[in-house]
């Protein structure tokens, strides 16, 4: 009769599970630095003021306030909705392309807005709602997302500063425009 084969010792056997790997190294956050705070400053200034009051009182008097409000509404919608595309492009590494393209489109749109004629709502709509909306949308999502790459401990402070920018812009921009409309006219005030 043959001797039975020895059973393998489970205590000495090492199991390797290929599904469990070492966790990835934590990303290095520079905690601000020149580039981080420059990103905060750039994100802070991505606000756009309200033109509704001036349009209804002076510039587009032939249209109802309801019709004029579509300019700002469509602008805001496009800024937020373009995040669907801007987020994907940001994830693929096109951050700088979007910022440069968005800034160029905003500048072009503001110059086109400054050339629009009174009581031609379609010119204002194309320049402000469509042009500015797409340009600002190209910059909005990346400017928020890039902040998280520069800060870990001070992320809440940095994001608070960025969020305060739109509120400050909504206060300062209309005051500035109301003072400049009478002195420079609509086109000059928009270009300022």
In a domain, 65, yes or no: yes
How many domains, in total, are found in the chain? 1
In a domain, 19, yes or no: no
In a domain, 113, yes or no: yes
In a domain, 107, yes or no: yes
| Predicted TM-score of the model (pTM) | 0.71
In a domain, 24, yes or no: no
149 token code pair: 């790459």
What pLDDT tens digit does each residue of the chain (192 aa) get?
566 665 655 555 555 555 656 555 556 666 667 777 666 665 544 444 457 888 888 899 999 988 998 998 899 899 989 988 998 998 898 988 998 999 999 999 999 999 999 999 999 999 999 999 999 899 888 887 888 788 888 888 888 887 777 677 777 777 888 888 889 988 998 888
Q: What is the DSSP letter of 6?
A: P
In a domain, 26, yes or no: no
In a domain, 142, yes or no: yes
d(CA 100, CA 105): 9
Asked if residue 72 lies in contact with residue 51, where contact means CB atoms within 8 angstroms, the answer is: yes
Its domain, for residue 175, covers: 33-191
**CATH number for the domain harbouring residue 107:** 1.20.1250.20
Torsion of CA 170, 173, 175, 180, to 10 degrees: -160
In a domain, 153, yes or no: yes
pLDDT of residue 49: 45
């Amino acid at each position: 009769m043959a001797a039975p084969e020895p059973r393998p010792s489970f205590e000495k056997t090492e199991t390797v599970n290929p599904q469990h790997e070492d966790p990835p190294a934590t990303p290095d956050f520079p905690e601000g630095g020149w580039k981080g705070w420059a990103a905060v400053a750039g994100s802070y200034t991505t606000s756009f003021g309200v033109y509704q009051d001036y349009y209804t009182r002076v510039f587009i008097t032939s249209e109802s306030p309801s019709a004029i409000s579509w300019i700002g509404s469509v602008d805001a919608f496009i800024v937020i909705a373009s995040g669907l595309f801007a987020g994907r492009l940001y994830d693929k590494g096109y951050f700088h392309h979007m910022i440069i393209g968005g800034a160029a489109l905003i500048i072009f749109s503001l110059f086109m807005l400054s050339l629009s004629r009174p009581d031609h709502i379609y010119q204002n709509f194309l320049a402000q709602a469509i042009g500015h909306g797409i340009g600002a949308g190209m910059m909005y999502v990346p400017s928020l997302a890039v902040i998280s790459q520069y800060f870990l401990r001070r992320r809440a402070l940095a994001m608070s500063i960025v969020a305060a920018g739109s509120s400050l812009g909504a206060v300062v921009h209309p005051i500035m425009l109301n003072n400049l409309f009478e002195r420079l006219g609509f086109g000059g005030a928009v270009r300022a």
